[in-house]
Amino acid sequence: MSIQSEARGPPSGSRGPYWFGLFWPAPSVSWQMAFFVAPLCLLVAITFWKVANFQLSADFTTANWVSMYSAGYFWDAFLYTLFLAAVTTVLISIIAFPCAYALAFKVSPATRRLGVFFLLTPFFTSFIVRVYSWQVILSNDGILNSGFGAVGLGPFNMLNNSFSTIVGFFTLAFPLVILLHLLSLSNVDRSIIEAAHNLRCGRVMTVFLIIVPAARVGLTLAACFAFLLSFGEYLSPSLLGGSRPPTLSVLLVDTVKSGNHWPKASVIAITMIVTLTLILFAAVKFAYHKSPGADRD
Amino acid sequence: MKNHGNKSNRKGIARRDVLKGGAAVAAAATTSMFLPRYGSAQDGVLNLLAWPGWGHPDTVGPFEAKHGVKVQVKEYAGGEPMLALANSSPPGTFDVILTDAEYVQMLRAGDLIVELDPNDYPFEDYWPNYQRFPLHWDGDTLYSVMVRFGYLGLSYNMEQYTPKQLTSYSALWEEGAAGKVGFFDWYLPSMGCLSLYNGNKSPFDIDEEAFGKLRETMNSLAPQVAGYYSYANTYSSLANGQVWLIPGIGEWLTLGLRKDGVPVNTHIPDEGGIQWTESFSIARGAQSPELANEFIKWMASPEGQVRCALRPGNETGIASKKGWEKLNADHPVEAEWLRMRLDKRNMMDEWNEGKIVIRRLPFQQTIEDWTQAWAEMKSV
C-alpha cells in the first residue's frame, strides 16, 4: 500500500480520529439522503403510478412516460425552456461580468462594499413581490409605457412574451451572478495581471487571456446558477410571460391542476432534473478541465 | 378451498407484499404529508373548501358571530383542483365544500359528500328553476344547495369595444384583437364558449368530429392570445389594459372591477353564454355536520343570500327570490349593478330567453382529453 492511500484510512493504533472524521459530515449527508435522495427515489417511483378519480395509487405503468414523451406540446415546452434558460444565461453572464470587473478592480473598497450591499438588497424582498412590480412597470398602462407615451412613443407590448419572462429571470439571477463573478475575480492573483502588463499585454487582451481563464471556475459556476434558476423558475413565465407558450415549470403545474396528475408531473420533473444534471456535469467538466500544456510549467 | 401457491401463506410476508405496503404508505404520505392541520368545531372552527374570497368578514362575519366560530377557508381555483384537494385530504379535513354544479356528481361518486335533507333548506324561497337544480340531485336525494350563479360570455374593455361589436365570438379573431385576447386558465368555461361559437347547442356534449373541430378553432385562435392567466392575474390583465377580450369569464370578475372604475363589462354573444353555479355540500366525515348544516341554511336564507350576492370583489347573482327582494329593498344601487332589479329587465330574463346553457363536464370525451386539447392550444 502506498503512503498516499494509507493516509486516507484510519490511523493505526487509534480509532478516534477516524470516527471524528465521519462524525462531522454525517448531518449533511443524512440531510441529503433524507431530503434529496429519498424524495428523488419517490419521485421516480411516482412516474409509474396511476391516477383514478383524482386519486393517486401505486402501480407500475409506463403510460405516463409514453403519454408525456409522445405529446408534441411537451417537447415544445422543453425546447422553449431550454432556449429561454440558455439565452438568459448568456445575457446575464455578458452583462454581469463588466459590473463585477469594475467592482473587483476599478473601484475603491468602500464603493465595492456599497455595491455588494446594493446587490444583496433585492433578496430582502420576496421574489413574487418583485415579479408583480414588473407587471406594474411593463404593462400597457405601466410606468415605462407612460414615459414612452409622454414623448409620443408606444405603447410597446412588454408583457406576456419572452422578453418579460427573461426580465423576471434577470430579476432572480442577475445580482447573484454578479456576486459570484465578483468573488471569483477577487481571487485572481494580481501579480499575474501585473506580469501580463509588464509583458506589454493590452488591457482588453489581459481580460480575455489572463483574467477570464484564471476565474474560469467561478464564472462557469455563476453561469450554471443562472441556467439552473431560469430553467426551473415558475413565477416569471406564468405571471410575466402569461404562460404563453408554457415552460416546463408551467406545464408541470398545469398537469397537477388539471386532474391531480402527479405521475405525469413527476415525469416532467424527472426530465428537468436529468437535463439540469447533464448540463451541470458538462459545465463542471469544462470548468475544471486542464487546457493543453497547462501542466508543462 | 385449496390454496394454490400462496407465497404469503408459505413464507409469511412476501417481499412483494412489503413493497406493495411500502408503496401504499408512500402514496398516502405523498397525498397528505403537505396538508396543513385544520381546526375542528371544538376549536371553534368551521373548515370550508371554497373558491377564493369566501372567508371575507362581510360574507361570513354574522354567521361567525352568531355561532362563535371562525370560518376557515382552504381556497382553490377551478373544479379539478377542488376535486384533487377533496380526494387527497383525510376525512374530517373539511366540513363544507363549495363546488360548481358539474362537480357535485363527481364528489358524490367519490363518496366525498353526504345526503342532505331538502326540508332543512328554504327552497320555497328560491326561483322556480333553482328549486330543484338537476345537477344537485340524484333522483330524490339532495346533495348540494345552490347559493349563487352567473353567466359566462365575452368580457371586454369598454374603451375598445361596444356590445354591438361583440354580437359574435368571431370578434376574437379580428385583426384589431391580435395580442389582446386573454384567457382565464381553466379549460372548461373557455372551451365551452368556443364550442358555442362552433354552433354546438350542447357545448360539452359533442361527438369526436365536433371535438376535432373545436380543437381546430382553439388552435386558430391561439396566435391572437396574449396570455393564459391565474385567478388573480385575470383581474389584473383586464384592469391594466393588457388584454381587451376574455371569453369564458363574466360579471363575477368584471362587475367588481367596473365598480372600482375600470371600464370593463361582459356581453353574451348571439351564440350564447354559459351558466356557472356555486353550491354547498357537507363533506363526508365532517367534524361538525350540524354546524355545517347551519352554515348552509344561513347561506340559503335571504340575509345570507344578500351577503353571497355582495361578496366583496366577486358580486354575482343569487338563487333565492326572497334574497332578490331583500337586495332590492336594502341595496337598490347594488341590485341595479347586478341586474337583479325585480322591476326591470334582469338576469332571469336572459335565462328565460334560452341564450344560456348550464356548464357541464365533457360527456363524450374524458376530462383528460379536454385538458390535453387546452395544453396543446397553450403551446401553439
Q: How far is CA B366 from the centre of its chain?
A: 19
Residue B205 has pLDDT above 70, yes or no: yes
Between CA A214 and CA A222, with CA A219 as vertex, the angle to 5 degrees is 155
* Number of alpha carbons in the 13 Å side-chain half-sphere of residue B72: 16
Q: Is there a contact between A57 and B27 if contact means CB atoms under 8 Å apart?
A: yes
In B, which residues are within 8 Å of A54 by CB distance?
Answer: 80, 83-84, 86-88, 110
Q: Per residue in B38-93, pLDDT tens? A: 555 557 899 999 999 899 999 999 999 999 999 999 999 888 889 988 988 899 99
Q: Is there a contact between A243 and B378 if contact means CB atoms under 8 Å apart?
A: yes
pLDDT of residue B363: 93
Q: Is there a contact between A56 and B233 if contact means CB atoms under 8 Å apart?
A: no
Query: Which positions 260-279 of A are in contact with B (Cβ < 8 Å)?
Result: 260-262
HEC assignment per residue over chain A: CCHHHHHHCCCCCCCHHHHHHHHCCHHHHHHHHHHHHHHHHHHHHHCCCEEECCEEECCCCCHHHHHHHCCHHHHHHHHHHHHHHHHHHHHHHHHHHHHHHHHHHHCCHHHHHHHHHHHHHHHHCCHHHHHHHHHHHHCCCCHHHHHHHHCCCCCCCCCCCHHHHHHHHHHHHHHHHHHHHHHHHHCCCHHHHHHHHHCCCCHHHHHHHHHHHHCHHHHHHHHHHHHHHHHHCCHHHHHHCCCCCCCHHHHHHHHHHCCCCHHHHHHHHHHHHHHHHHHHHHHHHHHHCCCCCCCCC
Q: Is there a contact between B379 and A245 if contact means CB atoms under 8 Å apart?
A: yes
Burial pattern A30-46, b for ≥16 Cβ within 10 A else e, equals: eeeeeeeeeeeeebebb
In A, which residues are within 8 Å of B32 by CB distance?
Answer: none
Does residue A46 belong to the interface with chain B, where contact is any CB pair within 8 Å?
yes
Does residue A251 belong to the interface with chain B, where contact is any CB pair within 8 Å?
yes
pLDDT of residue A6: 45
In B, which residues are within 8 Å of A45 by CB distance?
Answer: 23, 26
CA–CA separation, B185 and B234 (whole Å): 8
Q: Per residue in A244-282, pLDDT tens? A: 889 999 999 988 887 778 999 999 999 999 999 999 999
Q: Is residue A111 part of a domain?
A: yes
pLDDT of residue A23: 84
Q: Is residue A48 part of a domain?
A: no
Q: Which residues pair with B152 in a beta bridge?
A: B250, B274
CA–CA separation, A280 and A101 (whole Å): 25
Does residue A146 belong to the interface with chain B, where contact is any CB pair within 8 Å?
no
Which chain A residue lies closest to B25 (C-alpha atoms)?
Answer: A58
* Number of alpha carbons in the 13 Å side-chain half-sphere of residue A147: 6
Q: Is there a contact between A142 and B240 if contact means CB atoms under 8 Å apart?
A: yes
Residue B346 has pLDDT above 90, yes or no: yes
Residue pair A261/A255 in contact by the 8 Å Cβ criterion: yes
Does residue A160 belong to the interface with chain B, where contact is any CB pair within 8 Å?
yes
The phi, psi pair for A26, rounded to 5°, reads: -55, -45
Q: Is residue A53 part of a domain?
A: no
Residue pair B47/B39 in contact by the 8 Å Cβ criterion: yes
Q: Which residues pair with B320 in a beta bridge?
A: B126
Q: Per residue in B258-311, pLDDT tens? A: 988 999 999 999 999 999 999 999 999 999 999 999 999 999 999 999 999 999
Residue B19 has pLDDT above 80, yes or no: no
Q: Is residue A201 part of a domain?
A: yes
Residue B3 or residue B158, greater confidence = B158
Q: Residue A229, by phi and psi: left (phi above 0), alpha (psi -120 to 50) or beta?
A: alpha
Report CA-CA distances (Å) from B173 to A156, B169, B195: 21, 8, 15
Q: Is residue A13 part of a domain?
A: no
What CATH number has the domain bearing residue A274?
A: 1.10.3720.10
Q: Is residue A295 part of a domain?
A: no
Q: Is there a contact between A245 and B233 if contact means CB atoms under 8 Å apart?
A: no
pLDDT of residue A173: 97
Q: How many domains does chain A have?
A: 1
Measuring CA to CA, which residue among B175, B353, B356, B157 is closest to residue B276? B356
CA–CA separation, A44 and B52 (whole Å): 33
Query: Which positions 112-141 of A are in contact with B (Cβ < 8 Å)?
Result: 135-136, 139-141
pLDDT of residue A7: 46
CA–CA separation, B182 and A242 (whole Å): 9
Residue A134, all three cell numbers? 414588473
pLDDT of residue A297: 41
Report, as ranges of residue numbers, the positions in chain A whose pLDDT lies below 50. 1-7, 9, 295-297
Does residue A257 belong to the interface with chain B, where contact is any CB pair within 8 Å?
yes
In A, which residues are within 8 Å of B109 by CB distance?
Answer: 53
Domains and CATH numbers, chain B: 150-275+357-379 (3.40.190.10)
Residue pair A276/A232 in contact by the 8 Å Cβ criterion: yes
Q: Do the bridges between strand B45-50 and strand B96-100 make them parallel or antiparallel, or are there none, so unpaired? A: parallel
Which chain B residue lies closest to A254 (C-alpha atoms)?
Answer: B375
Residue pair B264/B193 in contact by the 8 Å Cβ criterion: no
Measuring CA to CA, which residue among B74, B70, B82, B130 is closest to residue B107? B82
The nearest CA of chain B is from the CA of A245 a distance in Å of: 5
pLDDT of residue A217: 94
Interface test with chain A among B49, B378, B380, by most A beta carbons within 10 Å: B378
In chain A, the largest separation of any two C-alpha atoms, in whole Å, equals: 85
Q: Is residue A18 part of a domain?
A: no
Does residue A238 belong to the interface with chain B, where contact is any CB pair within 8 Å?
yes
* Confidence class for position B6, pLDDT limits 50, 70, 90: very low
Average pLDDT in the B186-206 region?
96
**What is the sign, positive or negative, of the torsion defined by CA atoms of A227, A231, A235, A237?**
positive
Which chain B residue lies closest to A57 (C-alpha atoms)?
Answer: B27
pLDDT of residue B34: 44
Q: Is residue A2 part of a domain?
A: no
Q: Per residue in A171-187, pLDDT tens? A: 999 999 999 999 999 99
At residue B21, the 3 state secondary structure works out as: helix
What range does the domain containing A132 cover? 63-288
